[in-house]
Structure 1
Amino acid sequence: MEDSKDWLAEELKKVEIWEKDQSDLWFWEKLGRLPFKFIDKWTPTFIQNKIGLLIDELGQYVQTGGSYLSSTSKVTSYYPKEVVQTLEDVKNLFVSTMDSAVDGLTKNRKNLATVQGASTGIGGIFTLTIDIPLLLGLQLKTLQDIAICYGYDPNDKKERLFIVKCLQFVSADIVGKQTILSQLSMFDSQDEVAKREVLSEMQGWREVVFSYRDQFGWKKLFQMIPIAGLVFGAFINRSAINDIAEAGKMLYRKRRILERLQNPTIQ
């Protein structure tokens, strides 16, 4: 569909409605956090240590991309090669075309997460340590590929900071979500002072790990049981990828729409 100003403004309203809807999660998030202290108290040390390693891995990702960095050459995997060959080509596509590419990517990653969660859930607590870094890697790669679909380069450290903020957004409470949305609204600000403040604030990526660790609370509880963990692992991993893909799509989509609305050539 053509990116007219009226269409873009209407789509921006939909994203803003989605942002407001995130407040509906408040009660369930508070309820869901109740058992975390008890779960952590009885979780074996080697599981806790594995989760703790996420701090170092996320730090490496922000700085260098580490082993999680996606290649922008994959852009032709999401669009016909005769239409798109570089990220610059993607930037000229209609937003609706970008949306379709992300929807296809999301479906593929959800299926992959389901299989991954089921296979690592069979062994219960013994295979949970394998599942944790695998799921983190899949979430990061999904967000990076969504960035590529909207024409943003995950090789750019700025984009990796945005991706980590998306990761934090999914597992934050309503107060945290509002703060993150406020930060991201200034992410592409032309005001250099405001931009520096946001980037400086976002360097505190370690806070992401604590909320991310809470996200594994239920996972640790249900996947500790061998065989039964297969069902819970498949469901939880699929749900985790669905949530991260939805947030990534909405937040990156909003950036692209706002950029298009500022383009004087669009009527």
Structure 2
Amino acid sequence: MEEKLQLKEELKQITHWEHSQKDLWFWEKLGRLPFQVLDKLTPKVIHRKLGQLLDELGSYIQSGGQYLVKEGKVLDKLGVSSLAEVPYLPLETMDRACDELIEARVTFAQLQGAATGVGGALTLAVDIPALLGLALKTLQEIAIVYGYDPKEKKERVFVVKCLQFAAADIVGKKAILDEISSFSNQREHVFSELQGWREVMMTFRDQYGWKKLFQAVPIIGVIFGSLFNKSFMEEIAEAGKMLYRKRRIIEKLKQFEPDV
């Protein structure tokens, strides 16, 4: 009973977090305004790279491709030998491993942003796909931490939904939360409803693109690149942790329900 009450309290905290996502900071609202100006200012090489990433993201959903991660190192952090053992671990063990993983990935993203900020627009074209790849891999690792297999297509869809959630506005966040609430019930038709995966890259551009332009200025870009990548990965990782954690808590709570 004590464990059940604790899980319910953890679920309540996640619900509170979901409600806190109801609005955008002024910085984010401002970043969504100058779309036409942004298009003109963004170097062509960046536009080409974004187009390439759209195709890669679609490929990731279908097959995982180059972005799939190996679960071995994550399982070692958890102290288990197989993914099948993870759901039976205490939630605290999962949370601890997740926090350690996130800290390492945020630090790596920060250093990567600083390094690619040295060369301006040319190295920015390298940073954008590297950052997306790191985000996808981090979300997959979070999935493994909470006992879900990113090699399954439905989990790759969930990963992209986490990515989309982090970049969405208030309307988009609510819609995504409504969609993924059915993942715990294994309603397959929800998985086939992923129509707007391209929106992930468009919201990436709309929300973050103009801030990334500062990174295109040589030397000064070191500061902006570091700060942006850190903020981006923190948002992505927080969304992934909260959404996967919620699924695991709900499934643990089901263990206390009487069999019918």
Report the TM range for the smaller structure's normalisation.
over 0.9
- Mapping 1:232-251, distance limit 5 Å: 232-251=224-243
Superimposed CA distance per residue, residues 20-58 of structure 1 (whole angstroms, 9 cap, x where no aligned partner): 000132654332211332121222222111111111010
- For the Cα contact (< 8 Å) 1:3–1:95, is it kept in 2? no
2:154 to 152, 158, 183: 158
- Name the SS for the 2:21 alignment partner: helix
Per the alignment, do residues 24 and 206 of structure 1 end up closer, same or farther by CA in structure 2, a change over 3 Å counting?
closer
1:172 to 149, 168, 171: 168
TM-score (norm 2): 0.94
- Mapping 1:204-243, distance limit 5 Å: 204-243=196-235
> Could you tell me which residue of structure 2 aligns to residue 46 of structure 1?
45
Letter of the aligned partner of 2:28 in structure 1?
E
- Mapping 1:1-267, distance limit 5 Å: 4-25=3-24, 27-80=26-79, 84-190=80-186, 195-264=187-256
Per the alignment, do residues 40 and 3 of structure 1 end up closer, same or farther by CA in structure 2, a change over 3 Å counting?
farther
What is the Cα-based RMSD across aligned positions, in Å?
1.8
CA–CA separation in structure 2 for the residues paired with 1:104 and 1:30: 31
Shift of 1:204: 3.4
Amino-acid identity (%): 57
CA–CA separation in structure 2 for the residues paired with 1:196 and 1:147: 19
Per the alignment, do residues 71 and 3 of structure 1 end up closer, same or farther by CA in structure 2, a change over 3 Å counting?
farther
Letter of the aligned partner of 2:248 in structure 1?
R
- For the Cα contact (< 8 Å) 1:124–1:226, is it kept in 2? yes
Superimposed CA distance per residue, residues 204-230 of structure 1 (whole angstroms, 9 cap, x where no aligned partner): 322222112223313332012100000
- Name the SS for the 2:183 alignment partner: coil
TM-score (norm 1): 0.92
Q: Which runs of 5+ in 2 are unaligned?
A: none
- For the Cα contact (< 8 Å) 2:61–2:153, is it kept in 1? yes
**Aligned pair count?**
258
Letter of the aligned partner of 1:20 in structure 2?
H
Q: Which runs of 5+ in 1 are unaligned?
A: none
CA–CA separation in structure 2 for the residues paired with 1:77 and 1:218: 40
Which sits farther off after the overlay, 2-11 or 240-249? 2-11
- For the Cα contact (< 8 Å) 2:114–2:222, is it kept in 1? yes
- For the Cα contact (< 8 Å) 2:24–2:170, is it kept in 1? yes
After superposing on structure 2, the runs of 4+ consecutive aligned residues of structure 1 that deviate more than 6 Å are: none
